[in-house]
Amino acid sequence: MHELSIALNLLEVAQQTMSEHAESELVAIHIRLGPMSGVVREALESAYLIAREESFCPNAALVIEETELMVDCPKCGDHQVAVSLNDLRCRKCGTVSGRIVGGREMEISALEVKDE
C-alpha cells in the first residue's frame, strides 16, 4: 500500500512549510488527485488518518479535490473531458487518439491554517 508513504510525504511537506509559520496551526491539507495518478482515494484517506496520529498535526483534515481526465484532440484541437479511460474519442470530430493533458495530478494545492 504505497498510499501510506504518500500520506507520510504529504505530512512531511506540510511540516516543512509550517515550520516557517510557527504561530499558525494546520487545519487541513488540500490536494488535487487525478484519475490516472495511481492513487486510490479511499486508501489514501485511511492511510492519512493513521499517519497523522503521530504527526505534528494530529487533527488536520485531508481535503481531496478529484480532477477530471482531460484530452486534446490531435485532429481538431478541441480540449475536453474524456468520457472514460476506455473511450478517448473526441466528441467533436470522432477521432480516437486523444492526447491526455490532465488527470495525472497528485499535488498539494493548499495548506489551510488558523492563526493563533
Q: Is 93 annotated as a binding residue?
A: yes
57 appears as a binding residue in the annotation: no
Quick one: DSSP state of residue 67? P
Would you say 90 is a known binding-site residue? Answer: yes
- Is 2 annotated to bind ligand? yes
C-alpha distances (whole Å) from 53 to each of 35, 38, 114 are 27, 25, 19
DSSP H/E element including 105: none
Q: Report the SS3 class of residue 54.
A: coil
Per the structure block, which three cell numbers stand in for 88? 478517448
- DSSP strands (E only) in the chain: 24-33, 61-66, 70-72, 79-81, 99-102, 106-115
Please report, in range form, the residues annotated as the binding site: 2, 73, 76, 90, 93
Please report, in range form, the residues annotated as the binding site for Zn(2+): 73, 76, 90, 93
Please report, in range form, the residues annotated as the binding site for Ni(2+): 2
